[in-house]
Structure 1
């Protein structure tokens, strides 16, 4: 028995959506409108849905964007900020879409996972041949480079007080941590919080006890990690490519997990026919209040190195 198999199970997930996604990712809870949002990255689609009986998710909107839809964030007034391939888009409340200028370039590079910080600034990483970036976009539209040496920038999460930022570099299997000023955004020195030895860490979220919940791509599970870096629980999912979890619902007590079929053969999908679906599970834990995006328009192209 592997070390991961010895970790206690934290509930049995149920299938929540009738459709499968190629690269389902980035679930977000919108507490104001009571909806779950997520993306199918390569399809360039953002979904918005409500919970129904028993943890099922009923899709209300399916909105296509110009190229990819790598991540979505929502503002207090209902605008969506969506990371495309090289630029960011805003979907306004009337349904119109404003596209910003290119922030990155490269035919083999695109934006990847992104989230607002406690003050509503948007952090977003890149995926490509490397080295890859983690950027922060301020309310003034300026972009600051937090990291410029990543293999694949992925999941982001903060502690409940906003004073520690966790970020994932998937290819190195590392979860990084650094101090973070939730008001100014000033960061401390980056350190390795945990190196994962089973699967590849992808998306993540935080619970009220400041434990991380990390999706392990290729491992078919989400693990709960203590502030000391110990894996203390897991949720097994009948889909090997688990991509990202988030706590959702009015009480933030339902864990929503996205999965993908990307990179799977026909034989793989036949063996795991629920791949690409969303799953929900009650784990006995609750998430922290989601951060909302503070902007209303796409950021500019101005980049500056962090001090």
Structure 2
């Protein structure tokens, strides 16, 4: 049950950026521009960078939004869909930003991690006072998948799109369920894995349908086989590891975000690279990122009206 102490190491990560983020999260490969994107949630910013020599990432642009930014997705046309605090934003290819309707109307709740599903719907969770939600958002509105979570976090679909893994952080559980990409219908949610140490955060999946999950508080990313056994790990010199993703044109570079949030001065002294991004070649390859369908209803009702 979540034992990774004896899992083999899968490469030595190198620090890829020079800036320490408070809460770097949600890295994704933008195949339209050939760039790596990531967010700093509390700064309300989406960062864009390119790969340089030796696995370094050169930051090229930072785009600020009016509130927190939990996640970013990309459409085939190059648009960004950004999860703000209470609403979604669309940034067009010319840089114009359109705010969607308010979807979250509970005080202290905000959007957190989100990704496009294989058909281009946006699936996003919330973080807040409790009974958090995981929802699908598309042209038809909002569909609630879960409404009993402690903190909705990482998501990943298998290569065929018919299995969805999701993280509920504070319960230390990774869930799994059947998923129909054509309709968005989901099967019964089941516990896939319970983590013993640390808290599961963001995750991604490789071309062999193995999950890669960040363990907040443990300074590592673990590789998990489809049967639920932890079969490898990457140790990171930052305790608050938030999310991994496979990036670069060949999807062979694992990019890992970290945070300084919640670290004491003593922690930061012991782990001075906290908040940076890291890269590592693990010998494994990711799958092509799902792209957002590029449609969003302008009058989507709030989540509370769908519970």
- Tell me the TM-score normalized by structure 2: 0.96
CA distance in 2, matches of 1:242, 1:298: 34
CA deviation profile, 1:186-228 (whole Å, cap 9, x unmatched)? 1100000000101000000000110000000000000000000
SS in 2 for 1:130: coil
1:100-148: per-residue Cα shift (whole Å, max 9, x none)?
111012331110000000000000000001100001012x140100000
Unaligned residue ranges in structure 1 (runs of 5+): none
SS at match of 2:269: helix
Aligned to 1:108: 108
Does 2:100 align with 1:118?
Answer: no
Distance 2:121 2:182 in 1: 10
Q: Is the 8 A contact 1:79 1:296 kept in 2?
A: no
Deviations 1:6-42, CA, capped at 9 Å, x for gaps: 1100000000011010000000101121100000000
Between the aligned partners of 2:131 and 2:254, the Cα distance in structure 1 is 32
Instruction: For residue 269 of structure 1, give the secondary structure of its aligned residue in structure 2.
Output: helix
- Partners of 1:87 and 1:72 lie apart in 2 by 13
Partner residue, 1:71: 71
Query: Kindly tell me: are residues 254 and 105 of structure 1, through their superposed partners in 2, closer, same or farther at Cα, counting changes over 3 Å?
Result: same
How many residues in Structure 1 have an aligned counterpart in Structure 2? Answer: 304
The answer to whether the Cα contact below 8 Å between 2:173 and 2:192 also exists between their aligned partners in 1 is: yes
Kindly indicate whether residue 160 of structure 2 is the aligned counterpart of residue 157 of structure 1: no
Residues 1:171 and 2:203 are matched in the alignment: no
Distance 2:4 2:39 in 1: 29
Alpha-carbon contact 2:125-2:153 (below 8 Å) kept: yes
Does 2:215 match 1:219? no
Relative distance call for 1:76 and 1:238 in structure 2 (3 A) is: same
- Kindly report the root-mean-square deviation, in angstroms, between the aligned alpha carbons of the 2 structures: 1.4
Q: Which residue of 1 aligns with 2:251?
A: 252
| Deviation of the 1:5 alpha carbon | 2.2
Report the Cα offset of residue 98 of structure 1: 0.6
Q: Alpha-carbon deviations, 1:273-300, whole Å to 9, x = none?
A: 0000000000000001110011155654
C-alpha separation in 2, matches of 1:44 and 1:159: 30
Task: Trace 1:185-196 onto structure 2 (pairs within 5 A).
Answer: 185-196=184-195
Distance 1:268 1:11 in 2: 24
Runs of 5+ in structure 2 lacking a partner?
none
- The answer for the alignment partner of 2:90 in structure 1 is 90
Verify the 8 A CA contact 1:87 1:104 in the aligned structure 2.
yes
2:38 alignment counterpart: 38
Shift of 1:3: 4.3
Tell me the alpha carbon deviations over residues 250-278 of structure 1, each in whole angstroms, 9 at most, x when there is no partner. 11000000000111111111110000000
Q: Does 1:8 align with 2:8?
A: yes
Q: What is residue 182 of structure 2 aligned with on the other side? A: 183
Partner SS, residue 251 of structure 1: coil
Q: Give the Å deviation of 1:183.
A: 1.4
For 2:169 and 2:146, locate their aligned partners in 1 and report how far apart those are by CA, in whole Å: 14
3-state SS of 2:129 partner: strand
In the aligned structure 2, how far is the partner of 1:299 from the partner of 1:26? 25
Distance 1:147 1:177 in 2: 12
